[in-house]
Every structure is written in structure tokens, then in C-alpha cells.
């Protein structure tokens, strides 16, 4: 193993691979920072470009895009309150309030350093713990996935502390929106109104763009002249504030572990890791009331966990051929295009290529720090633009991002309709985060429940018996009840 690692490091001495890592990082930062252009899209766009490259060089390019785009979605989340990718949805909860009080540089510094820390630690896990972690992932069946989704839904209680009833209504609306489209097993079409673009369900990216861009633009245009006061000097001070994350070492470790575990569970994804880590950070904080007001811990938890998913998702991808999420599924295709067969034998038959790829991920996490900070330094100046100019620019970006997903104007109209819903929610002080969580987890919960029921031939009793006799299921149930109790207890304390 160590000889293969050394061979991988030696291969990175090739200037072409280093150049490709740098190019992939720049491309990934730009893709992730633009709302609507996801990590999956960025990696998929450049898979054909790698056909003429060596396997090691091609995978290094794709890995760099994966790492950097996951991080850079935080830039637009912090500056414009629009998550660049679904993984950065929790980042805006504290990142944008920091921007509004003139601390955008500090927020970006925290996001950058936390992203790099989460990415580094998860790649270490991929390097040394891949086989046992992959074996752990195989223990999850349909019922465990369903319970995991329910555990995620329990986070709504934590996200709705201001008004539990409004938060629950928001979550229920998200769950309803998640069932739009075809049933995962029967193929029945539901609540689409005959719109073909909704047959595959409501796109999470379109929902995020509408929910967070349109309401902010309307609010800013209604109060022209109330732009955030921001000094250009903040952009130059970003790098000096990165060491602040080391005040929260325990939070870094916890968020990384959550990201790795969620990453190795196929289908879970970065957005779920971000929500779970944010909830855990808030639950264990000495000052949970400051979350959502511009709290450093909220940004650190979100960005550490979603970047830790990168290494975690590659564990089942490389060792079992089971993609951990959509991006790793595209990377899996890239592997196979180059004649590499994922599985345990990959680490022996093609050790040099695999370890070169893993080592390149370390380099990618190094490179995206200066590249991300350089780009963010200029992006910070966006908030100095008057609302009368910035508003139409954001709307244009939202329209382009929505159209680019499937080249359909219908999806632009859907985005604008969701934006109207988002504005009404903002006007009536209904939290939007539970709605996003409902969309993310609703389809997962429904699909896994349907599969679990089919395995027991439709017997509810048999399914419940299986859940309460499986140690892994019992652990998930325990943490779900604990999460719910924490939310209810806080509400009772607040009521008193």
C-alpha cells in the first residue's frame, strides 16, 4: 500500500497533471459559484474532454472539479443568499447575515478553511479506511435508508425554533413538492398538471434558485438605498481570518465524521450531511440562539460536512462500484471509460492510477484555497453594487441557471413560481429551510419505504418487526427520537 502511495505521489510530479488540477479547480470554482450549475454538471461536462488523456490525468481533472465546486457554492450563498449548489443551503443561514453586517470577508474565510479541512480529513479516510467503510455502507438496506430520511426530517424541529408551527407547515409543503412526478416503483404520474418537465420530479436546484434568489431581489428592490455598507478592505482581509476555524476543533471533527458517514451511504448526498451537521452543531452549542444570526459555528459545520462527503462518497464508488452520490456516479462513468473496473481489485490491479487519483485530491484541496480566495476577493465587491443594478443581474443569473439545467423555458417559469412562494414565505416569516429539507428527503423516504414494503410483501407488521430487531435501525431510531426530543424540549423551555 505504501509503495503504491509513493508511486502516486511520484506521478504527481508530472507538470501536465498539476496543470490539469489547477484548470479543473478554476473551472469547478466558477461552476459551483454560479447558481444552477451543480458539481454533477461540471464533472459531466468535462468527462468527454478526458477521453484522450491518461487515466490518472483524466481522473485528477475530474476530482479537482468535484472538490472545488462543492466549496465554491458557498461564495454566492454568503454574498447573495443564493446557494451555488444544494450542498451550500445551510451555509447561507449564517453566511448572509454576516454579509449584511459587513463581515463577508470573515464568512468566506471560514467557509474556505472549513471546506479545505473537511476535504483533507475525508481524503485521509478514503486513503486508509476505504475497505471497512465500504463494508459498513453495505449494511444499509431499504428500511435503514427510510429511517435515515426520517432522521433527516427530524432536523425540521431544530430549524423551526422561531415558530414550530410555521416550520412544520413549511416542511409539509416540502414533502408534498417532493412527491410531484412519477412514483418511484409504479411509475404513476402525480400532481404534474400535464407538464412534462415535472415527470421526473421537481428539480432541487430550480427550487433553491427560486426560493432564495427571487425573494431577496424583491426585498432589496422594495428598499432601494438600503444596500449593505461594505468596505473593499474586507475582501483583502479574507486570508488573515482563516485560522479562526481552529477555535472549533471539536466541531470540525464532528462535522467531518458526519460528512464521511453520510458520504459513504449511497444516495444520501452533501445537502443531507450539511443539514445533519448544522443541526448537531446547534444542538451541542452553548449558545444555540445565535445560529441563523451570523454564527461562525453554523458556517463551519455546513462547509466542513459537505466537503467531507467528497472523500466519503468515493469509498463505495472505488471499492464496490456503488456511487455514493450523483457526482461520484459520473466519476464512476469516467473510471469505466478509461477501462478501470471499480471493486476491491482496483486497488491491486490499478494501484498506481487509483493512488495518483487520491493523492491528486489532496492537491485539489490545497489549490482551491488560493484560487477560491482570489475569485471571492472580487466577488465580495458584488454587494457594493446598488440594488437597482444587482437585482436585475441576480434575476438574469437565476433565469440562465434554471434554463441551463434542461434547456427549457418551462423550468424558468417553475423557478419564478417557486420564487413567488418563497417571497410569500419570507413576507409571513415562514422558514424556507424546512421546505428544502422536505424536498431533499421526501423522495428518498417515499422510494425507500416503497422498496422496504415490497421486500416484506406489503406487510406493515413484518416491516416494523424488521426495524425493531435490526441493531442499525434501532440506532437510527434512537437518534431520531433524541433529535425530536431536543427540538420539543427547546420549545417547552421557550414557552416557559
- Domain boundaries of the chain, sorted by first residue: 2-495
Question: What pLDDT is recorded for position 268?
Answer: 67
Using 50, 70 and 90 to split pLDDT, how confident is the model at 333? confident
Using 50, 70 and 90 to split pLDDT, how confident is the model at 224? low
C-alpha cell at 467: 426495524
Using 50, 70 and 90 to split pLDDT, how confident is the model at 239? low
DSSP-based three-state secondary structure for 34: coil
Among 34-48, 191-205, 446-460, 466-480, whose mean pLDDT is lowest? 34-48
Question: What pLDDT is recorded for position 339?
Answer: 80
Give the span between the Cα atoms of 342 and 152, in whole angstroms.
Answer: 30
Position 484 pLDDT exceeds 90 = no
State mean pLDDT over 292-296. Answer: 90
Closest CA to 310 of 444, 451, 126, 476: 126
C-alpha cell at 155: 432536523
DSSP 172-232: HHHHHHHT-EE-TTT--EES-TT-GGGTT---HHHHHHHHHHHHHHHHHHHTTT-PPP--H
Question: What pLDDT is recorded for position 139?
Answer: 79
What is this structure's pTM?
Answer: 0.78
Mean pLDDT, rounded, of the chain: 82
Using 50, 70 and 90 to split pLDDT, how confident is the model at 494? low
Position 233 pLDDT exceeds 80 = no
Over residues 412-437, the pLDDT tens digits come to 999 999 999 999 998 888 888 788 88
Question: What pLDDT is recorded for position 228?
Answer: 43
Question: What pLDDT is recorded for position 235?
Answer: 45
Amino acid at each position: 500500500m505504501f509503495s503504491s502511495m509513493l508511486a502516486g505521489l511520484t506521478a504527481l510530479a508530472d507538470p501536465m497533471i498539476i496543470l490539469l488540477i489547477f484548470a479543473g479547480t478554476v473551472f469547478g470554482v466558477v461552476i459551483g459559484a454560479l447558481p444552477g450549475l451543480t458539481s454533477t454538471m461540471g464533472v459531466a461536462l468535462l468527462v468527454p474532454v478526458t477521453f484522450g488523456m491518461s487515466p490518472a490525468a483524466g481522473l485528477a481533472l475530474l476530482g479537482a472539479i468535484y472538490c472545488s465546486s462543492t466549496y465554491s457554492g458557498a461564495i454566492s450563498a454568503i454574498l447573495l443568499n443564493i446557494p451555488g449548489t444544494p450542498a451550500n443551503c445551510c451555509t447561507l443561514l449564517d453566511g448572509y447575515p454576516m454579509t449584511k453586517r459587513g463581515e463577508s470577508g470573515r464568512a468566506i474565510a471560514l467557509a474556505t478553511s472549513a471546506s479545505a479541512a473537511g476535504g483533507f480529513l475525508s481524503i485521509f479516510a478514503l486513503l486508509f479506511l476505504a475497505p471497512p467503510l465500504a463494508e459498513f455502507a453495505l449494511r444499509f438496506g431499504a428500511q435503514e435508508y427510510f429511517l435515515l430520511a426520517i432522521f433527516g426530517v427530524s432536523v425540521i424541529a431544530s430549524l423551526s425554533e422561531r415558530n414550530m408551527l410555521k416550520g412544520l407547515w413549511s416542511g409539509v409543503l416540502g414533502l408534498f413538492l417532493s412527491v410531484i412526478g412519477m412514483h418511484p416503483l409504479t411509475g404513476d404520474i402525480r400532481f404534474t398538471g400535464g407538464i412534462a418537465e415535472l415527470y421526473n420530479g421537481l428539480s432541487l436546484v430550480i427550487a433553491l434558485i427560486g426560493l432564495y434568489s427571487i425573494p431577496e431581489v424583491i426585498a432589496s428592490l422594495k428598499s432601494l438605498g438600503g444596500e449593505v455598507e461594505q468596505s473593499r478592505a474586507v475582501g483583502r482581509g479574507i486570508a488573515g481570518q482563516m485560522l479562526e476555524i481552529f477555535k472549533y476543533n471539536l466541531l470540525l471533527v464532528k462535522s467531518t465524521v458526519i460528512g464521511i458517514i453520510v458520504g459513504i451511504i449511497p444516495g444520501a448526498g452533501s445537502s443531507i450531511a450539511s443539514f445533519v451537521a448544522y443541526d448537531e452543531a446547534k444542538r451541542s452549542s452553548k449558545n444555540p440562539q445565535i445560529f441563523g444570526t451570523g454564527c461562525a459555528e453554523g458556517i463551519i459545520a455546513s462547509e466542513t460536512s459537505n466537503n467531507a462527503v467528497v472523500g466519503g462518497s468515493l469509498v463505495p464508488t472505488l471499492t464496490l462500484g456503488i456511487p455514493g452520490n450523483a457526482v461520484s456516479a459520473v466519476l464512476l462513468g469516467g473510471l469505466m471509460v478509461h477501462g478501470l473496473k471499480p471493486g476491491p481489485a482496483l486497488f491491486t490491479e490499478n494501484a498506481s492510477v487509483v493512488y495518483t487519483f487520491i493523492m491528486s485530491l489532496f492537491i485539489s484541496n490545497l489549490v482551491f484555497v488560493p484560487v477560491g480566495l482570489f475569485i471571492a476577493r472580487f466577488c465580495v465587491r458584488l454587494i457594493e453594487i446598488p440594488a437597482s443594478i444587482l437585482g436585475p443581474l441576480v434575476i438574469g443569473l437565476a433565469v440562465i441557471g434554471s434554463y441551463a439545467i434542461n434547456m427549457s423555458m418551462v423550468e424558468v417559469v417553475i423557478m419564478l413560481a417557486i420564487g413567488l412562494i418563497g417571497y410569500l414565505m419570507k413576507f409571513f416569516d415562514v422558514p424556507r429551510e424546512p421546505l428544502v429539507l422536505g424536498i431533499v428527503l421526501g423522495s428518498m423516504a417515499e422510494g425507500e419505504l416503497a422498496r422496504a414494503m415490497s421486500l416484506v410483501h406489503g406487510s406493515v407488521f413484518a416491516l416494523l418487526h424488521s426495524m425493531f430487531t435490526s441493531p442499525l435501525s434501532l440506532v437510527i431510531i434512537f437518534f431520531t427520537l433524541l433529535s425530536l426530543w431536543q427540538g420539543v424540549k427547546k420549545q417547552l423551555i421557550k414557552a416557559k
